Structure 1
Amino acid sequence: MRQDWFSDARFGMFVHFGLYSAAARHEWVQSFERLTDADYRQYFEHFDPDLFDARALARTAKETGMGYVVLTTKHHDGFCLWDSTLTDFTSTVAVDRDLVREYVEALRAEGLKVGLYHSLIDWRHPHFTLDWTHPRRDDDDARDLDAGRDMAVYREYLHGQVRELLTEYGDIDYLFFDFTSPDEKDGWPGKGPDDWDAQALLALCRELQPNMLVNDRLGIPADFVTPEQYQPTAPLVRDGSPLVWEACQTLNGSWGYHRDNTDQKSATLLAQMLVDSVSMGGNMLLNIGPDGRGAIVPRDAATLSEIGTWMRLHRDAVIGAGHSSFVPPREGVYTRRGNRLYLSLFFWPMGFVHLPELAGKVAYARLLNDGSWLRTSVSDPGQEADLMTPAGQAEGTLTVHLPVQRPDVLIPVIELTLTD
C-alpha cells in the first residue's frame, strides 16, 4: 500500500523557506502586518539564497535519522521555488535557480523520500478572493477590491501549478496541501473544499502520481491526517479503524525563520515527542526554517545534531516501529517492532522499573544505547521484599533491574525481546 514506506520511516523533516525567510519574523508576516504587495516586493528584489544547499540539507535530514523531507514549493504569499510558467513570482525569475529541482535531485541522491508542500492559499494572485487570512482584509476599499475577483480563475491557476509540480520532477512520494479553514472570522469567510474543487484536485493527484501520499488538508479524506503543534494522547481512529497520521511540529513555534524567537524546544523534548508519536502509531514531521540566505541556522543545526546522535543508537525504537497493545509503566512509553518491545524512559527510576503483563513474555532485556544486559525478575505478590527482588507488585509483573546511573543519552531505551 502507498503508505507502507511512510509508516516505516516515522520521522521526517519539514522545510519552510521563501521570501518570508528574509523578513525573519514569521512566515505569515505579510498577513500579520497587513503588508501590501508593494511593501512585500523588497523581499523578492533582494532574495539571495546563496547558502541554500540542497545536498547539505538532504545529508542533514539523513544524519538526523529522517526518512523523508517536505519542502515548501509555494507558501501563502504566492512565491514559487520552481520554474512555474504560470507566474513570474518565482525563484527562477528572482535568482535564476529552480530550488525545487535542486531539492528533489539532492533527496534522491541520499535515498530519501521526496515530499512537497503546496499552499492552497495565494495572497498575491489577483483573483484569490479576500478572506480572514488576506493581508488586504482591513483596507478601506477591501470589499470593492474583493468584488472584482473570481475564484474560478484562481482554481484554474492552482490546479495548473499542481500539474506542473507533479509532471516536471519525476516521482513525488508525498504532497502536503495547506490549508482549508471554511469558518467565518472577523466578518470575512474562510475557504473550504469547494473553493479548491478538492475532489477534482485530489483526482488530478491520483492521475499524475498514483503512488503519492496526499494529506487531509484539502478538506476531504485522503491518505493521512495532520495534527499540528499538539500531541495526540492516543492512537487516532475513525469509525473504529486506525488512521495514518503525522504530527507536524516546530522547533520554536514558527515555521519560517524568526530571528528573534528563541523559544527553542530542547532536543530531549523533541525526541520524547517523536517516540510518543510512534507509540501511538504516528509519525513526526519536524520543521526547520532556513534563514534569509537559505542556511540552517546554528541553533537548529545543534538540536538536529543532538537528535541524530540519539537516533544512531536508538533508531530501532523508532524506524519501522509502532503502537504496542501492552500498557507501559508510568515512566515512559512503548514502541514495538516485530518481537522487540522498546521502553523509552522519560524519567529514570531508582533501581527498578516494573512492567505489568510481561512476566514470562520476555526472553532478554538490554539497554539499547550500549547493548548491555539487564537483569529481570518476577516478584511474588505475597513474598517479603529483599535487596535483589522487590515485592508488592501485581501478579504478572516483570521487574527490570537498572543501574543507578542514568545513561547519558536524550532518552534511555530498554529493548525487550519477546518470547513470541
Structure 2
Amino acid sequence: MKLVRRLAVLAAAMTTLLGVVTTTQQASAELFNPRQDWLRDASGGLFLHWGMRTAPGFRDGASWEKAITDGGWKADYWVDEAQKLNAKYLVLASFHSRLGYGRAWPSKIPGSAHTERDFLRETIDAAKAKGLHVILYMTDDPQWHAEGGWEQLDSAAYSAYKGKNVDLTTRDGFGEYSYDNIVEVMQNYPDLSGFWIDNDNAYWERNKLYERIRAERPNFLLSNNNEDTPIMDTISNEQKVGMTPAYDYPQATYTPAPRLTEACFKLPDKGSWWYTGSDQDVSAQLNLGRYVTNTGSSIKSLMAETAMINGKFPPKQEAYNTWFAQTIAPIKESIDGTEGGGYLYGGLQPGFWNDGAHGVTTIKKDQPSQQYVHVLTAPSTGNTLKVRDNGYLVGRVSDLRTGKPLRFSQRDGTLTVEGITWDANDTVLKVQTLGGQLFQWPRQLVTATASAETATAPAVNLVDGNFQNFWDNGGKLPVSLDFKLPVKLPVSSVAINQREWSVSYARSATEQSARIKDYTVSVSDDGVTWTALKTAQLPSARGVHFVDFPRTWTKFVRVEVASTWAAATAPKFFQQLKIDEVRLSF
C-alpha cells in the first residue's frame, strides 16, 4: 500500500505539471442552456393527472369546475405534498387524451371543455411562492375523443372559430387545435416553466411550433415523452419495468449525460395515472429505490400521484408522502446538490457489490471530494461492504444517518467498509476522499489508438477527458484498443466508461445492451510482442467498470473486445460499441 500511495503522489504531481484537461466543450444550445439550471438542480417532480374524467367523471366544464371548488381544492396542498417528496416542480396534466381534453384554465378557443376559474394560475402562484416550478402537459393525440361513450371534442365550434372546416378527431385537425392552445397558454402565462409534450404531432412540426416557443418564450423548458427530440431540453422515460432489482430504473434508460433525462412513473402499484375511485397501495421501498437510483444517474424522478377531484390524494398516497419525507430527511445532503457517481462527474462505482449488495453513489457538485454510497440492497451476510474506489484515496467513512465513523481499508482498487448497521430502506455512507482520482495515471500521459474507429468518433476521444466526445467501433468486432504510456509504469486495471446510449439489460428482442461482453487484456513493452494476462467478461451494467489484472510494469496495454451483449435481433445495437473515457489505474 505504501508503494501505491507513493505512486498516487507521483500521479498527482504529473497531473499538475501537465495541466488539467477541460471536461467541457461548446455544446449545442439545447444540451446546455440557463433555462435548464433549475431542473438540473432538482432531483424530482410531482406528476398530476387531474381532469374531466377524474372520478366520478364529468361531461362539461361547468360541472367539473363546480365539483372542484365545492370540494375545497387549494393549490397549496399540491405544493406542500410535492415538498414532502423533495420535488422542485409540478407537471399538471388536464389537457390529456384520456382525461377528456379539459383545460383547467380559462380559454377563448372553443373545441373542448375549460374552466372559468384559473386553476393553472393558482397552481403557478402557489408554486412560485415556495420556490417550485410548474410545467404544463399537452397532448397531441385525438384518438380517445369518445372514450366513455361521449364526444369530448367539438369540431363544429372550433371550425366556426377558425372560419374553416377542421375535424378535431384527425391528427392534423387536433394538431392545429392543440397548437392554438399551446400558443394561447404561452402568451397568457409567461411565468409557466414550460411544456411536457406527449408526443409530437406532424402539424406542430410543419408549422414550427417548438421554434416559435423558443423565440417567444426562451425561458420555457420543453420535455418529450419517450423520445429524444433535439430541440427539446429533456427526454422523459415512462413507467419502465422488468429491471433487476426492480427499483433500478436507470437500467431502462438510454440517453447519455449531460442530456437532461427524466423518469416518469406511477407511485401507486396498480391502476391508471389518474384517480378512478380506489385507494391503491404504494410500494414504499420500490419507489424510494427508484428515486435514489435515478439520483445516482443524474436522472430526475417525475413521480405520479392520482389527485381526487378536490385535489387531495388518496390516504395511502398521502401516507407515503409523509413517510418519504421522514425517511430522506436525515440523508438529504446525499441527494440535494449532487450528481450521480461513476459517470462523467467521477465518483465511486455504482451497481452490484459484494454478496448481492446493490446501490448507487452520488458526488457533491460543489465539493467533489465528498461522496456518498447508497446501499439499497444490503449484502446477504455480514456487515461489510466492498465498493470499487475508481482511483480515489479515501480519508474518512461514516454513517450519514448517525454520524458514526466506520472502519475502512483500501486494497487493489477496492474500498472495504466494516461494522455497518444496515438501514431497512437506504444505508448511506458518507465518504470523504482526498483529492481526485489519485490512483489513476493522468490522461495526458496516455495515448489511445484502435483497430477500428469512425471519422467523427476516433480513438483519441478515449483519453481526452471529455464525456461529450466518444470512440465508436463503427460496428467492427473484434476490435482492439491500445493504450501507450511514455515509459514503463505499473498498471493493474483499465477503468472504462462505456457510453450510456443503450439499456443495460435485454428489454426486448430489439432493445438490448451495446456494452462489452467478452474481452482479453494484454500488455507489451514495445507494442509489437504482446502477453495476454486475462480473458473474461464484463457485466452489462451502467457506470464505470474495470478490467483487472495483476499489477504489471508496462508501456502498452491492449483491451481486445471479442463481443458485445446485444443480439443480432437488435440491429441498432448488435456489434456496436461506444466508449466515453478510459483510465489506466495502478
Q: TM-score w.r.t. structure 1 length?
A: 0.76
Q: How far does the alpha carbon of each residue in 1:105-143 deviate from its partner, in whole angstroms, 9 at most, with x for none?
A: 000011112211112234xxxxxxxx4x4537999xxxx
One-letter amino acid of the structure 1 residue matched with residue 377 of structure 2:
F
SS of equivalent residue, structure 1 residue 22:
coil
Residue 28 of structure 1 corresponds to which residue in structure 2? none
Counterpart secondary structure, 1:366: strand
Aligned letter for 1:196? W
Q: Find the partner of 2:146 among 132, 135, 155.
A: 135
Partner of 2:86: 65
By how many angstroms is 1:246 displaced? 0.2
Distance 1:248 1:331 in 2: 22
Q: Are 2:127 and 1:107 aligned?
A: yes
By how many angstroms is 1:308 displaced? 1.2
Give the Å deviation of 1:372. Answer: 2.2
Give yes or no for contact 1:249–1:285 (8 Å, CA) kept in 2.
yes
Determine if the alignment matches structure 1 residue 224 to structure 2 residue 234: yes
- Render the CA deviation track for 1:214-236: whole Å, top value 9, x for unaligned: 01249643111111001231763
Superposition deviation, residue 164 in structure 1? 1.9
Match of 1:35 in 2: none
RMSD: 2.9
Which letter maps to 2:105? W
Which residue in 1 is equivalent to 2:43? 10
Equivalent residue, structure 1, for 2:558 = none
- Cα shift at 1:73: 4.2
Q: For residue 250 of structure 1, what is the amino acid of its counterpart?
A: K
CA distance in 1, matches of 2:147, 2:422: 55
Structure 2: which 5+ runs fail to align? 1-32, 151-155, 157-164, 241-248, 343-347, 436-586
Q: Structure 2 length as normaliser, TM-score?
A: 0.56
> Aligned partner of 2:251: which letter?
T
- Partner residue of 2:375? 345
Change (3 A) 1:250 1:165: same
* CA distance in 2: counterparts of 1:20 and 1:292, whole angstroms: 9
Count of aligned pairs? 355
- Mapping 1:370-385, distance limit 5 Å: 370-378=402-410
Q: 1:416 aligns with which of 431, 451, 454?
A: 431
| Distance in 2 between residues matched to 1:234 and 1:217, nearest whole Å | 14
**CA distance in 1: counterparts of 2:167 and 2:299, whole angstroms:** 40
Aligned to 1:179: 199
Q: State how far apart, in whole Å, the 2-side matches of 1:205 and 1:215 are.
A: 12
Identical amino acids, percent of aligned pairs: 24
State the partner residue of 1:407. 423
**Deviates most, 194-203 or 78-87:** 194-203
Structure 1 residues 398 and 120, CA, compared in 2 at 3 Å: closer, same or farther?
same
Answer whether contact 2:55 2:277 (CA < 8 A) is retained. no
Q: 1:117 aligns with which of 137, 144, 148?
A: 137
Take 2:178 and 2:397, find their aligned partners in 1: how far apart are those partners? Answer: 54
Between stretches 253-262 and 70-79, larger displacement belongs to 253-262
Q: Which residue of 1 aligns with 2:317?
A: 300
What does residue 197 of structure 1 align with?
A: 205
Q: In the alignment, which of 81, 105, 117 is matched to residue 97 of structure 1?
A: 117
Q: Cα offset for 1:247?
A: 0.4
Change beyond 3 A, Cα 1:360–1:98 = closer
Aligned residues of 2:279 and 2:315 also touching (Cα < 8 A): no
Quick check: 1:20–1:43 contact (8 Å CA) kept in 2? no
Deviation digits for residues 176-218 of structure 1 (CA, Å, limit 9, x no counterpart): 01134xxxxxxxxxxxx31433661111221222022101249
Higher relative contact order (CA 8 A, sep 6+): 1
The amino acid that maps onto 1:214 is: L
Q: Within the alignment, does 1:149 sit opposite 2:167 as a pair?
A: yes
SS at match of 1:345: strand
Which residue in 2 is equivalent to 1:20?
53
- What is the deviation of 1:156? 3.4
Distance 1:46 1:223 in 2: 33
- Point out the more displaced range, 318-327 or 68-77: 318-327
Letter in 1 for 2:363: R
Letter in structure 1 aligned against 2:394: V
Q: 1:259, 1:74 → 2: CA distance?
A: 20
Q: In the alignment, residue 67 of structure 1 is paired with which amino acid?
A: K
Q: Closer, same or farther in 2 for the Cα pair 1:235/1:74, shift >3 Å?
A: closer
Letter of the 2:362 counterpart:
T
Give the conservation status (yes or no) of the 8 Å contact 1:198–1:218. no
Tell me which amino acid in the other structure corresponds to 1:273: R
Q: Name the structure where strand makes up a greater proportion of residues.
A: 2
Report deviation, 1:399: 1.2
Aligned equivalents of 1:69, 1:166: Cα separation in 2: 17
Q: Secondary structure at the match of 1:259?
A: coil
Matched, 1:74 2:84: no
State which structure, 1 or 2, has the greater radius of gyration over its C-alpha atoms.
2
Q: Measure how far apart 1:102 and its partner are.
A: 0.8
Deviations 1:37-88 (A, max 9, x none): xxx6278635511232101211221232111111124111211100011127
Q: For 1:82-104, what per-residue CA distance to the aligned partner results, in whole angstroms no more than 9, with x for missing partners? A: 00111274453xxx421101101
Instruction: Give the residue type in structure 2 aligned to 1:168.
Output: N
User: Do the aligned residues in 1 keep the contact of 2:393 with 2:433 (CA within 8 Å)?
Assistant: yes
Query: Residues 136 and 106 (structure 1 numbering): CA distance in 2 closer, same or farther, change over 3 Å?
Result: closer
1:362 to 388, 394, 416: 394
State how 1:152-301 maps to structure 2 within 5 Å. 153-180=173-200, 193-197=201-205, 200-217=208-225, 220-221=229-230, 222-230=232-240, 231-233=249-251, 236-237=254-255, 242-252=258-268, 253=270, 254-260=272-278, 262=280, 264-301=281-318
Pairing 1:304-319 to 2, within 5 Å after superposition: 304-319=321-336
Contact 2:43–2:295 (Cα < 8 Å) also in 1: yes
For 2:179 and 2:149, locate their aligned partners in 1 and report how far apart those are by CA, in whole Å.
29
Whole-Å Cα distance in 2 between the matches of residues 357 and 294 of structure 1?
A: 47
Show CA shifts across 1:265-321 (max 9, x none).
322211110111122221110011111222122111111111111232222222222
8 Å Cα contact 2:224-2:236 kept in structure 1: yes
Amino acid at match of 1:255: W
The answer to whether the 8 Å contact 1:358/1:398 transfers is: no
> Are the aligned partners of 1:236 and 1:242 in contact in 2 as well (CA < 8 Å)?
no
Quote the Cα distance in structure 2 between the aligned partners of 1:148 and 1:358.
60
Q: What amino acid does structure 1 have at the position aligned with 2:428?
A: V
On the 8 A contact 1:7/1:320 being kept in 2, the answer is no
Measured in 2, the distance between the counterparts of 1:66 and 1:136 equals: 32
Partner of 2:197, secondary structure, is strand
**How many angstroms does 1:261 deviate by?**
6.2
Q: Rate the CA distance shift 1:99–1:138 in 2: closer, same or farther, 3 A.
A: closer
Q: 1:359 to 1:351 in 2, by over 3 A?
A: farther
